[in-house]
Structure 1
């Protein structure tokens, strides 16, 4: 595989990852991202330009736009590592499709929408017809708009915003979406007739979670209520008492930021976790040690951790990433799946020039990926896939590590169809 990297110089703006129920505290009390290197060099082997591509057909150029710097650089790194693994898997290690070399140009969006748009317009102007990537929902929506305006194929990465699904004919996704998180949370209880309480921050993030839980689980017969807490609160005892007074069957926690540790400690100390099913999203590996004494009392919905799937493709992913010096994490399979989708689209369309043919190739496609069975819903391009129930347990060194409780079939957490 020949990879060409490029770093765009621009002012980086802070953008939040929009994910329902999947934000978890980091070990130092921060959000789910972590620091990465100062430059966009991902250590790819054998960089070369398209002109150096092997003969046998015109090369197909792919723009991979994601964060290699900024607050979500760790997510970008894992997506890129997964993409390399997926491309090697789908092309049998050749980096070629029917003699056409796949040339991947990696561009850093820094988590900033304007920067991503600049990168997209640059590569589209050069004739690129395929884009993929980004963990930032706002960036993904902006790239989807560029894809439609310029009639190019775009496969979104880890960005969880439900609005990406069905946004236009040119946009697909390689990861899960927020509604699949919420539906997975519902798999921990018998939803019909249950009392579900959303415990979250009184901001757009928390209110969005409440709306999603009410829309998905409420529609399944649950009575949904909420305890919403101002963002500047640091003492959570009275709010924990409100949860106990409500006597719910399940509490869905949607929380992010520096107060996460204190919030979980309060819920634990006040007994909320003793007799009530409390569910939240399990994030990337940097968050596993962040729940303190509450760790083994929480039920976690999960998109992916390396030990969850049991199949040969996931084994390939893990081995490939580890041999390259990386560590598979939450969004590694999204990069892998994006590469599988791109290879299938190019192969079926006979190249990267016919965007309509590539779209047709992806719509309705059922394939095996690192999480198992995937289906791209033809009507709105939702990616139907398994999800996981997980718990945290301590290893011999005292670190908290995820263990699989159950695999949730993709059909059981399929998001509502987008018109």
Structure 2
């Protein structure tokens, strides 16, 4: 689930390559080229920065520090899509035209849903990143994901419903928002709840009218799925209008920098967590922590780390045959930052544990529980191509 984002520009940094983030950069003969198209700039830049840092740490970890598959260097080119599907498709086409057979990235759901069919048309491996739309799962045989999907967030929220029957989804009017509405309707509606929704225009800056709508609806549970830089204003409006104190509000824990944006009502929230620093402790986590410049891991670092692990596994199986890469990933299980991850072969869903948390301060969170990968397993999707 995506929540508030505090954009921060990320300069493209070359990884084991002289590409320096430019799709036009020259490559070294014999190298295996990987293209990462993600949000270096735009509203999701902070998420993109975490993904890229995680990818670099994961590539080093998965290759034992060599940056190589056999005796061939993995050469990574980073391209900025600025969260714009048109720019993403243009960058992906440019890389594919240069012979790249492996692409990663997609911070935005809208971007991933445009790049996925391009991957199928050109028979290149595409490992989507933090993009959470459920529609990415089963998009086609060449598309995988290295993060969680909205349905997994909603399955984590299911335990909060209790005996309540009225659920309201508060989300942006976007592919991400619609994915959450669909997932809540399927999961909580399927459990007997009546699900309604409020879709907020992306241009909204005054949330008081929307908060009043929530209050008037008097739901037993409000499921908030947010994306963008306006989260602070949104939460303030919900708190000021009494929404947080009049009903149970469930939402996701966003990046650390956003926690203060919950404001005074933050401790009233029931938080779902894709990940937070220290949610799990294992060799992959320690490697990620050591590889992150700040020394503190955050929400989407694991997505980049897992993407690198998946890509390395695929390349180790066959560095040049994409169909063999796909076959190697289907059904593959591996230990990553969050714990054991498994790629479901029939639709490429990434099965993984999820977490529950409570905010205890502006910069402090405590673990409240773990939802197993089995309990957070989304229903199988039909592979589209």
Q: Does the TM-score normalized on the shorter chain lie above 0.5?
A: yes
Name 1:23's counterpart in structure 2: 3
Alignment of 1:200-349 (within 5 A): 200=170, 203=173, 209-226=180-197, 234-235=208-209, 238-239=212-213, 241-244=215-218, 246=219, 248=220, 250-255=221-226, 260-261=231-232, 263-265=234-236, 267-268=238-239, 272-274=243-245, 276-322=247-293, 325=294, 327-349=296-318
Aligned residues of 2:52 and 2:304 also touching (Cα < 8 A): yes
Q: State the alpha-carbon separation in 2 of the partners of residues 267 and 410 from structure 1.
A: 32
Q: Is the deviation greater in 401-410 or in 233-242?
A: 233-242
TM-score by length of 2: 0.88
Q: State the alpha-carbon separation in 1 of the partners of residues 70 and 200 from structure 2.
A: 56
Please state if 1:385 is matched with 2:360.
Answer: no
Name 2:22's counterpart in structure 1: none
Structure 1: state its 5+ residue gaps. Answer: 1-18, 25-31
SS of 1:337 mapped into structure 2: helix
Q: State the alpha-carbon separation in 2 of the partners of residues 114 and 90 from structure 1.
A: 32
Q: State the alpha-carbon separation in 1 of the partners of residues 104 and 232 from structure 2.
A: 34
Name 1:14's counterpart in structure 2: none
Give the alignment's Cα RMSD to 1 decimal. 2.6
Alignment of 1:90-101 (within 5 A): 90-101=62-73
Please state if 1:413 is matched with 2:376.
Answer: yes
Please state if 1:198 is matched with 2:178.
Answer: no
Q: State the alpha-carbon separation in 2 of the partners of residues 262 and 111 from structure 1.
A: 22
Q: Is the deviation greater in 68-77 or in 371-380?
A: 68-77
Aligned residues of 2:171 and 2:224 also touching (Cα < 8 A): no
Q: CA deviation at 1:233?
A: 5.1
TM-score by length of 1: 0.81
Aligned residues of 2:225 and 2:251 also touching (Cα < 8 A): yes
Q: CA deviation at 1:59?
A: 2.1
Alignment of 1:61-210 (within 5 A): 61-190=33-162, 194-200=164-170, 203=173, 209-210=180-181
Q: State the alpha-carbon separation in 2 of the partners of residues 342 and 108 from structure 1.
A: 20
Aligned residues of 1:97 and 1:343 also touching (Cα < 8 A): yes
Q: Is the deviation greater in 199-208 or in 307-316?
A: 199-208
SS of 2:43 mapped into structure 1: coil
Q: Is the deviation greater in 117-126 or in 380-389?
A: 117-126
Name 2:366's counterpart in structure 1: 403
1:39-62 deviations in whole A, cap 9, x for unaligned? Answer: x43365763677657xxxx32111
Structure 2: state its 5+ residue gaps. Answer: 20-24
Q: State the alpha-carbon separation in 2 of the partners of residues 167 and 61 from structure 1.
A: 24
Q: CA deviation at 1:279?
A: 0.5
Q: Is the deviation greater in 198-207 or in 311-320?
A: 198-207
Q: CA deviation at 1:290?
A: 0.8
